[in-house]
Amino acid sequence: MMTPTNDPMALAAAVTSRADLARFVQALLADFQADAGGGWENPTLERYLEALAAYAADAADAADAGGAEGPATWRAFAELLAAARNYE
């Protein structure tokens, strides 16, 4: 179960279920709306999705280099979504 916090990465770390992921996405939206995306490096859908794709690819490359990629989990998906906010 997620715990209240303002840090999207901390919220992502608490995601363990589909319901948690839904609450996390709602919190991510609230974070974006709180300052009209001004605190996000990628405040448009296009930039956010580009960053999401780049982060997912880079994380996969890092896992391949390290020898093992972790399992696909609700938490891993939430962490990808949270990281894309500010990934360059």
Q: Are 1 and 63 in contact (CB under 8 A)?
A: no
Domain edges within the chain? 8-83
pLDDT in tens, 16-74: 999 999 999 999 998 888 877 678 889 999 999 999 999 998 887 666 555 566 778 99
Report the C-alpha dihedral over residues 49, 8, 29, 52, rounded to 10 degrees. Answer: 0
pTM of the full predicted structure?
A: 0.75
Residues 6+ apart with CB under 8 A from 1: 14, 16, 20
DSSP assignment of the chain equals -----S-HHHHHHT--SHHHHHHHHHHHHHHHHHTTTTT-S--SHHHHHHHHHHHHHHHHHHHHHHT-PPPP-HHHHHHHHHHTTT--
* Res. 3 pLDDT band, cuts 50 70 90: very low
Q: How far apart are CA 40 and CA 32, in angstroms?
A: 7
